[in-house]
């Protein structure tokens, strides 16, 4: 079989349609002079090939047409070599954005998945310097599905490189929920190995959020369960509506917190309280959460359902005028210092302080004090 013997069309079903199934429909358009009896011979190979494509492409209702052969590699079918042409087909609803090529380049989910589930909003005016990460997956209550996680990864990396951002807020666009945790429907379709890899990816994502250089605030205006609470725990600060429900409920599903919750919760509320919450899978409201130190503040929910966000925004504005370099170094000193003994922590503080001494911001701070005016920090 040659490299260009098979002409095919792959139709990825619309995930919003009723009766949606993840499996793509494969339509063979022509195969040289081969007869149908050859299909059985290569069936298992193309199942592997389509499985690889399915993991790489989540684009809704899309048809991919091209010519492909069976390209062997050490691990089986090499999809990058097998797929030589991808062209958009006009099937069903319109699909915004360009068709991603699997042959080369990094595919950005934010550009290829229709309505984005994660967006960055750069605030303006007196909030300039604050970025809000907007989570919007209403049909699944912001659960941590594959597209959601990949888009969030991209947003986090973009924020890490953006020196104009001084504070980051995590906000849900879905009323009554922050993040409902794992997407159990997607998870049920994964093999044990795939599930393990996905949870590892989640754990890495939460660590990347925790290591963002600028202060981060989670605005919890509704349910934050399982991985949703783990996301909030990865933030530096948390503000909740008094009616919001929070909990690491994994034991009620025969699991344990796997995206950092078993490690971050004890560091926030203490080992005894963390064990009680994790062992029971208990859900607590905002008032209880603030009393045990899980969140920094709890506020009465408003009619718009964004009271926690408004409080988080006020907190971000209070942080905003402070020295950006000093904020980053203070965060690093605390995050690293809490993991070691006090003597080592003092050494970390000294190293972080040394990074601030040669900055223009330090000179500006002293000049502003001397001149009895507010400082204007530039992050230099």
Helix (H, G, I), strand (E, B) or coil at 136: coil
Give the tokens for residue 326. 């000093």
Q: In degrees, to the nearest 5, what angle opens at C-alpha 34 toward C-alphas 33 and 40? A: 170
Active site residue 7: no
Separation of alpha carbons 48 and 44, rounded Å: 6
Please, are residues 341 and 348 in contact by the beta-carbon 8 Å criterion?
no
Give the whole-angstrom CA distance, residue 290 versus residue 303.
Answer: 22
Catalytic residue among 227, 228, 286, 323: 227
Cα dihedral sign, 225-227-233-238: negative
Nearest Cα residue to 243 out of 295, 280, 187: 295
Identify whether 259 is a catalytic site residue: no
Catalytic residue check, 230: yes
Q: Which long-range contacts (CB under 8 A, 24 or more apart) does 69-78 make?
A: 69/1, 69/2, 69/3, 69/4, 69/5, 69/6, 70/1, 70/42, 70/45, 71/3, 76/45, 76/48, 77/45, 77/48, 77/49, 77/52
Q: Of 181, 250, 258, 326, which residue is the catalytic one?
A: 250
Q: Cβ distance 135 to 118 under 8 Å?
A: yes
- Asked if residue 58 lies in contact with residue 113, where contact means CB atoms within 8 angstroms, the answer is yes
240 is catalytic: no
Cβ pair 156, 209 in contact under 8 A:
yes
User: Looking at 154, 224, 230, 298, which residue is catalytic?
Assistant: 230
Tokens of 240: 């909740």
* Residue whose C-alpha is closest to residue 247's, from 219, 286, 206, 210: 286
Alpha-carbon distance 258 to 237, whole Å? 21
Nearest to 214 by CA among 170, 158, 168: 168
Catalytic residue among 182, 224, 307, 326: 182
Report CA-CA distances (Å) from 138 to 171, 179, 208, 223, 281.
13, 10, 24, 13, 24
Could you list the active site residues? 182, 227, 230, 250
């Amino acid at each position: 079989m040659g490299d260009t013997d098979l002409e095919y069309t792959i139709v990825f079903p619309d995930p919003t349609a009723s009766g949606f199934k993840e499996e793509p429909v494969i339509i063979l358009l022509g195969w040289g002079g081969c007869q149908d009896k050859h299909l059985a011979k290569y069936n298992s190979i193309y199942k592997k090939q389509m499985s690889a494509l399915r993991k790489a492409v989540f684009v809704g209702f899309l048809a991919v047409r091209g010519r492909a052969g069976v390209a062997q590699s050490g691990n089986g079918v090499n999809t990058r070599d097998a797929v030589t042409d991808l062209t958009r087909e006009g099937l069903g609803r319109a699909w915004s954005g360009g068709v991603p090529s699997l042959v080369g380049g990094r595919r950005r989910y934010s550009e290829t998945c229709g309505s984005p589930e994660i967006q960055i909003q750069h605030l303006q005016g007196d909030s300039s310097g604050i970025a809000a990460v907007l989570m919007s997956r209403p049909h699944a209550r912001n659960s941590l599905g594959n597209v959601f996680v990949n888009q969030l990864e991209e947003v986090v990396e973009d924020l890490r490189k953006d020196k104009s951002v001084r504070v980051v807020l995590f906000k849900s666009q879905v009323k009554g929920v922050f993040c409902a945790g794992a997407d159990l429907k997607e998870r049920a379709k994964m093999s044990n190995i795939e599930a393990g890899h996905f949870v590892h990816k989640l754990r890495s994502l939460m660590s990347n959020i925790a290591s963002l250089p600028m202060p981060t605030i989670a605005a919890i205006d509704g349910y934050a369960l399982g991985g949703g609470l783990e996301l909030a725990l990865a933030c530096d600060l948390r503000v909740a509506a008094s009616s919001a429900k929070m909990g690491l409920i994994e034991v009620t599903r025969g699991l344990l917190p796997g995206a950092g919750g078993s490690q971050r919760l004890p560091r926030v509320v203490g080992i005894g309280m963390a064990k009680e919450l994790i062992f029971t899978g208990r859900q607590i409201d905002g008032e209880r959460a603030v009393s045990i130190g899980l969140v920094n503040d709890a506020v009465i929910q408003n009619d718009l359902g964004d009271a926690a966000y408004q409080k988080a925004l006020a907190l971000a504005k209070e942080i905003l005028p402070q020295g950006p370099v000093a904020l980053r170094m203070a965060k690093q000193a605390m995050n690293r210092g809490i993991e070691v003994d006090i003597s080592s922590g003092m050494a970390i503080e000294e190293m972080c302080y040394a990074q601030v001494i040669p900055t223009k911001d330090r000179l500006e701070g002293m000049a502003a004090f001397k001149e009895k005016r507010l400082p204007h920090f530039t992050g230099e």
